Amino acid sequence: MSEKALSNGERWHFRALESLYASAPVNALFDSRLEIVESGVARIHFMVDERFYHAAGAAHGTIYFKMLDDAAFYAANSLVSDRFLLTTAFNMNFTSPVKAGPVVAEGKWISGKRRVFIGESRLLDSEGEEIARGTGTFMRSHIALSTLDGYGI
């Protein structure tokens, strides 16, 4: 779907979610940027460097989890304009270690539109090879998006 095909409300909601992501204190730790492509699809562009390495010299699983969870979460929350979703479960599969360089987390909504949402995501290295995959379950919370300081443009 092109940016032009989005309604003004969708466009505003997507940009407000991107702003929310950027405002989260935890994201100051990462060189990352959220992009909501269309309803149900999100991408996070980020850089891996040695700060995220484990003792064997590759990225620690924490960065895999964070980016996979965030991509699937924002893909699902792109469908919900009134409430913040919460992760209730997340499963991951690691397929390849990653070292320094750019990585993209691609998230996609799979099912659910009322209370519980299911999303999946994958990490792609700079050559477009999949290095990890995850599936998450997200639930509507009682937190109104409009009450969160970072939600807006």
Q: For the chain, which domains are there?
A: 3-147 (3.10.129.10)
Residues 24 and 66 sit within 8 Å (Cβ to Cβ): no
Task: List pLDDT tens digits, range 16-62.
Answer: 999 999 999 999 999 999 999 899 999 999 999 999 999 999 999 99
The candidate with the shortest Cα–Cα distance to 80, out of 149, 141, 21, is 141
Signed CA dihedral, 26, 27, 28, 29: sign only: positive
What's the pLDDT band for 1 if we cut at 50, 70, 90?
low
Position 108 scores a pLDDT of 98
Rounded to whole angstroms, the Cα distance separating 40 from 51 reads 31
Mean pLDDT computed over 97-126: 96
What's the pLDDT at 99? 84
Residue 110: pLDDT over 90? yes
pLDDT of residue 5: 75
| pLDDT of 118 above 60 | yes
pLDDT at 2: 56
Q: What is the pLDDT of residue 74?
A: 98
DSSP SS3 for 34: strand
Residue 133 has pLDDT above 70, yes or no: yes
Is the four-CA dihedral 82, 118, 71, 109 of positive or negative sign? negative
Q: How confident is the model at residue 3 (pLDDT cuts 50, 70, 90)?
A: low
Indicate the burial class of 1 (C-beta count within 10 angstroms; 0-12, 13-18, 19 or more): exposed
**Where does the pLDDT of residue 98 fall: very low under 50, low under 70, confident under 90, or very high at 90 and above?**
confident
Confidence check: pLDDT of 145 > 90: yes
